[in-house]
Structure 1
Amino acid sequence: MRTKSFLNATLVFLLIVWAGSLYAQEHSTHTGKILETTSGSPSIYVEPYGVPLSPGIYLTNFILLYVSNPEIAANMPAYSAALPQKVYQCLVENPEGCPYSDMAKYFSEQALEVRDSQNQNIFWPLACQTDPRWQILAPPKYRQPDQINQPLGRKKADQLARLLGINEDMVLTEEQYQCQIGTPPRDLAREIIFLCTSDLTNSKGNALVPLSSYGLSLSAQGDVRSNCAPQAPCLEFNKLILGPLEKIAIECGFWDKFVRWNDPAQTPLVELAKDGVQCQDDWKPSCIVEAACPGNVAQSNNNCAASRGLSGDCSEIKQ
């Protein structure tokens, strides 16, 4: 009886949290506003990052992938990379995607550059920050070009999982995982899970066009876009939280594990998801965030430039 009551109480708590998160995403009227500055005021220099690299979103996705299949989670990016400014400009103007054939040269140019700074910190705006004990676990900036789109690897993934409170008993069995992911032709929910998983793990050795360090992926039409851009599978995944995901957990026999993942006493999943939603909502529709450049100066690496002032909290960017 006590166990049943605990499960019911936990489920109610989860429904309240996720319902609030989904409401914020679907009903927010914030679409970004131009930052007003007085004449002669200094520019805010920023470097753009895909929202999927922000601490809350990255760690939420990592937990969900690791408990599903650690080998797949090991293909998430080990490092973050700022978008080239030309790519950022195009995606701000075209949130649903820009032809990769037109953008490829800018990624190639960046891959040949050595970073000017050894500072691996990313100065996220307030809406994209989370508890410092979790924030430090998010992927740092790359230092060497060959680190761009490099996967975590199994050893680092296992270490990160332990720091996030995940133990072996929470991980799906192979049979449970296969049931969750399904086989073609998949139903809509499983197809979304499959496609989102592919987008989050498009690192070197796991994708023809690796873009994981940018939080970007390719659409079926060959357009590059943020993983949480309009119509992207990972944005559609949010709609699975209330209903389809619970149904799959029950159908595939891992409801007890599902409850443990979402228990705040065992993992920070719910906390991280709430923080991630704030960041995602504040920087839609492009789902690319402006982080302050070190020293608030322009740099020669084609990443830092004056802020485009597309978020309501640009004035709150702090180092």
Structure 2
Amino acid sequence: MTPKPTLAVVGATGAVGSAMLQMLTHHADVWGEIRLVSSPRSAGRKAPVRGVECEILALDEDAFEGVDLALFLVPEPVAARWAPVAVAKGAVVVDTSAAFRADPDVPLVVPETNPHAARVRPRGIVASPGCTTLALIVAVGALHAEFGLAELVVTAQQAASGAGAGQAGVEALRAQLGLVAGGGDLGTHPGDVRRAIGENTGPFPGPLALNVLPWSGTPGADGASSEEERVRDETRRVLGLPGLRVAATCVRVPVITGHSVSVHARFEHPVPLGRAHEILATSPGVVLYDDPAAGDFPTPADVVGTDPTWVGRVRRSMDDDRALDLFVCADNLRKGAALNALQIAESIVTAL
């Protein structure tokens, strides 16, 4: 009998790593040894995986000896440094950071949309898109397969756990909420929220509690942010539409976990509304939750801790029979990071 492959989870102690360890407990048992790897300061600690307490190893070359597949759930600089090391040791790498997403020799994969792309990996690395792209791409990709996507305009409402490597954003928002709790007049005068929070903004460019911030990432070209450019570029790569017109605005909102995206999509062919509902209701990885009159539509508070992309408010756009408006929500730590990476990894090892 062929032994089951060895899996390394790099970044096992982070926010996405914690979600990954939970998923490994509930997913199909396709792995042999599961090796937990993190920064040296976490080495020696233990974390539960499939009911067993596993010791966390320090991130070094020895950690990848005998590893068949390595999941990288770490910031971009760490992935850029260590993913090639893992490949050199014989592992296939699935990386959730932005380190390799634009590399033409690294496929960018969403298993529900372009699973075939993971088969050809010249550098031994497969990249997973960013959490905002993953929140919308499964639903949009399903519609594209039927009607041919021509143009996309999105506004992403990004949760705090999508900033500062996850935990830093969450801790900053919770600290800010503590500072403004009980301030009944806060938010009624210019600058009063900013004064109450002071310098406690964490990884955000301003106060997030009782506020929204129309900026995420670093400065890009023509006034866009790096996050907005990534949504455009990643959507084009995953759908195989290099010339797709994409306009994206990313807004950070005071939500702990769960990205939401308002989507305006225009297609090459007319889109019967009933057929659009049927496609979304039957597509893998999508839950259609769309009865506004009954109060049925997705919100971050409802979808946190779940795996699918939830879709609601599906409607005709501006009397255009080729355009739809819809609202999508997804847990940015699960489908937006850990789940997509695990799905890629499972598809690779089952094909070996």
The TM-score normalised by the length of structure 1 is: 0.31
Where is the helix percentage greater, Structure 1 or Structure 2? 1
The TM-score normalised by the length of structure 2 is: 0.29
- Relative contact order (C-alpha < 8 Å, sep 6+): which is higher? 1
Where is the strand percentage greater, Structure 1 or Structure 2? 2
For the pair shown, the structure with the greater C-alpha radius of gyration is 2
